[in-house]
Structure 1
């Protein structure tokens, strides 16, 4: 039966234009070698159903049965990626095709590369489909909720292998480095044989463009520097972000902040995240507009959002870059004890920015989200970070994606919310950390089997808004607005 799946996989590779029919024999022989099969007999009949992931699973299961690999997650992933690499062109050829399509239309180029990244099984769409995803309206507009179920669970054997693995291997240096392109993987480092990236010039510097294998939103992509260097938000950041949207006007791009607590999970390698999606923050209206005295030509406003966002608009990049740098420099040194904002503790800096750039209606836009990572005795995880009473939903850093209005929530919430729904309908057991929340819902709503799912979905969206409000430096009330205006007066 294994030959049926080999031929079906090759058929699908031809159908998705990874290879041509002329490449069939070569591809088959490469796969036979990877599967340790010395001979091949063409099947009498062909499979007409089954996706690329279906075929790969069947081939991996067969390889495990015959002892070619063990059933450990890392060995399965490595063989999976090597099989799909059989169908992929070299990086130079993929870049040449991308460039040819880009010269016709940038959208055609990204469409091509996004399809390639999915068809090559680098983006594992069957895993992403397991995520719970929905959109809800709140007092601040749209928010997106994702309960992340796409990352495979590690079994005890895999965890043991990783623990026993020597951790002194420093190649590739991190998960983002260019050296991951084509890397076969090892225990503790993901297989990337089927990984390809696109060359991008940002302000005369070599950067690379790839899609995220986890895709939290449409065409979720990563843009990373060739040099392995730490994240730094500076005037150069704004220059590079606006250079990217000039080249790819159908995409937004943003950067995580460059300080712990308010930054992303990887601060060691300078990188951005981009994509083709409109977040709640993007769609939010202005709360009020103001004038930057040094840049009167720029449209400047504060956004009506659950975090503290300044939005700048202009037809020309240059004044936006200078205005962004002016706001960043001013914010870095800004303290306002009445608003609990301190720029430094001794010489440790606390203030930074999460920036986002886009093109809209013929103008460049630069959103600057003000961040502060100070901790206190009352809030040891961060004063402007999810507070402990919402840790039952999310206690991790609030990074770029969450800032814009997309919650990436832990997988534990799926069974916990199912248990909560049962509790709301009369069951007696519920996790202690959700009980106060559930009891509040019980008291405020009439709950039935017909409406419990919708009520909990909405309540989770509202709780995520609270998470964002905790992370905002100027709160969404009159006192917060007055504090925001005090900062703007310094510009």
Structure 2
């Protein structure tokens, strides 16, 4: 009788959060029964309504494993749970119809509806995201966000072995994790289940684009915008036009793009996409530093920004003019060389300069941040001259992408245990400290010494991790915040 209680609890919870109408209860229950391979249901069932949907899903997945309906490995469980939850979600056309009916009332109502649907349907892995370690660190540039990412489930040995066996025969459908063909896709070994996935249809710069939320949200309403065409990331005039089109449609959201070159770009460069959300990062709050005029666009307010990375901020009310000015700066930057500060635009035919752009509405003005990037490497810095340097790799050695650029550190899960050993080292307790952390841990022990207690060590390490992230951002800045760097930055501004 237990499985019947879980099913009934699931149905009641879905009705409560308005995923299904009460009139659909019998229909959906019958569909669940078909997936769970039984053909009758008791007349009286006590429902488990005190549990949330993810917990109820887990119990039904366990039942399916116990009865031999699915195998016990990660992707099989994800595929089955995605198929179950899909029974409670309307079709893409109906979701889009609801979304745009609400949009006519207020853009925020439409995104709230879609975010709640994506959460209730377990597409957004709220329970997993809650495992992340999150805190803030105050710096001279404002409050930086720190996240140790613990949300993505670890693969078991059986899953890893199966992926190894099929990797040479893998399907190319969908072409990547972002393509619209993921909507409703059942999934397979090595490709996530997406039966419960829905996307909102948009038009950006007269092109079909799609709007979804990130399954592992790093900040409030963390969304992804993706091109209907599977094409490489490219920062160009069209990028600025589409970002501003989006914030026109959803003025309560920002939108930005990763850069389009290796080292300074994001993790997916083979599908044109942006990220956005209803969140204000520290960079958005950063103050103007050096105000200047762009000769060809005198009506636009331009300034460098007080931020560890090199940002030009543009403000204005004329969208077309802002697009033109942004494209003008991009072309100037792509061809700019300043050897006094190690900036080289090209090595032979290889281009090194690009931009990480971000758009938002602020005080009824458009605001565009253009973060200048360069991906050149050297013998001293083989990972990148303007990339986190070796002295911070024990904390952050991955690319500084869009989210980090704006002031949110996404740090690897290894740090959860490794930082515990750092704390024990500082306190003089037995530990298994990784060698990569030893010089840093010794510095901290020397700096804080006997002042450190079990009550203070957590905050000390948190603050020091924040300083390491800040150093990673400073490393990634093409114009350093010293006198030589700022003189060079103004030199570039003077040619605009």
Tell me the TM-score range normalised by the shorter chain. Answer: over 0.9
State whether residues 32 and 87 of structure 2, in contact with CA within 8 Å, keep that contact through their aligned partners in structure 1: yes
Residues 1:161 and 2:173 aligned together: no
1:43-62 paired onto structure 2 within 5 Å = 43-62=44-63
1:91-130 paired onto structure 2 within 5 Å = 91-130=92-131
State whether residues 4 and 43 of structure 1, in contact with CA within 8 Å, keep that contact through their aligned partners in structure 2: no
Equivalent position to 1:291, from 290, 293, 300: 293
CA RMSD in angstroms, aligned pairs only? 0.9
Q: Which residue of 2 aligns with 1:374?
A: 376
1:123-272 paired onto structure 2 within 5 Å = 123-165=124-166, 166-272=168-274
Question: Aligned partners of 2:394 and 2:46: how far apart in 1?
Answer: 54
Q: 1:48-99, CA deviations, whole angstroms, 9 ceiling, x for partnerless residues?
A: 3111011000000111111110111000000110001001111111000000
Residues 1:355 and 2:360 aligned together: no
Q: 1:104-141, CA deviations, whole angstroms, 9 ceiling, x for partnerless residues?
A: 00000000000000001101111000000111111211
Equivalent position to 2:468, from 456, 463, 474: 463
Question: Aligned partners of 1:227 and 1:398: how far apart in 2?
Answer: 26
Point out where structure 1 has 5 or more consecutive residues left out of the alignment.
none
Residues 1:443 and 2:422 aligned together: no
State whether residues 201 and 208 of structure 2, in contact with CA within 8 Å, keep that contact through their aligned partners in structure 1: yes
SS of the counterpart of 1:386?
coil
Q: Which residue of 2 aligns with 1:68?
A: 69
Question: Aligned partners of 2:224 and 2:116: how far apart in 1?
Answer: 16
SS of the counterpart of 1:253?
strand
Question: Aligned partners of 2:397 and 2:462: how far apart in 1?
Answer: 19
Report the alpha carbon displacement of residue 38 of structure 1 after superposing the two structures with TM: 2.2
Question: Aligned partners of 1:441 and 1:52: how far apart in 2?
Answer: 44
Point out where structure 2 has 5 or more consecutive residues left out of the alignment.
none
Question: Aligned partners of 1:66 and 1:392: how far apart in 2?
Answer: 45
Report the alpha carbon displacement of residue 291 of structure 1 after superposing the two structures with TM: 1.1
Report the alpha carbon displacement of residue 152 of structure 1 after superposing the two structures with TM: 0.2
State whether residues 13 and 49 of structure 2, in contact with CA within 8 Å, keep that contact through their aligned partners in structure 1: no
Cα 1:167/1:354, change in 2 over 3 Å = farther
Report the alpha carbon displacement of residue 44 of structure 1 after superposing the two structures with TM: 3.9
State whether residues 3 and 42 of structure 1, in contact with CA within 8 Å, keep that contact through their aligned partners in structure 2: no
Question: Aligned partners of 1:327 and 1:191: how far apart in 2?
Answer: 41
TM-score (structure 2 length as normaliser):
0.98
State whether residues 385 and 398 of structure 1, in contact with CA within 8 Å, keep that contact through their aligned partners in structure 2: yes
Report the alpha carbon displacement of residue 35 of structure 1 after superposing the two structures with TM: 1.3
Question: Aligned partners of 1:422 and 1:186: how far apart in 2?
Answer: 43
Q: Which residue of 1 aligns with 2:29?
A: 28
Report the alpha carbon displacement of residue 167 of structure 1 after superposing the two structures with TM: 3.6
Q: 1:272-313, CA deviations, whole angstroms, 9 ceiling, x for partnerless residues?
A: 001000001011111221111111111111110010000000
Report the alpha carbon displacement of residue 169 of structure 1 after superposing the two structures with TM: 0.6
Structure 1 segments, 4+ long, off by >4 Å, are none
Paired positions, count: 491
Q: Which residue of 2 aligns with 1:433?
A: 436
State whether residues 201 and 211 of structure 2, in contact with CA within 8 Å, keep that contact through their aligned partners in structure 1: yes
Report the alpha carbon displacement of residue 450 of structure 1 after superposing the two structures with TM: 1.4
State whether residues 358 and 365 of structure 1, in contact with CA within 8 Å, keep that contact through their aligned partners in structure 2: yes
Larger CA deviation: 475-484 vs 185-194:
475-484
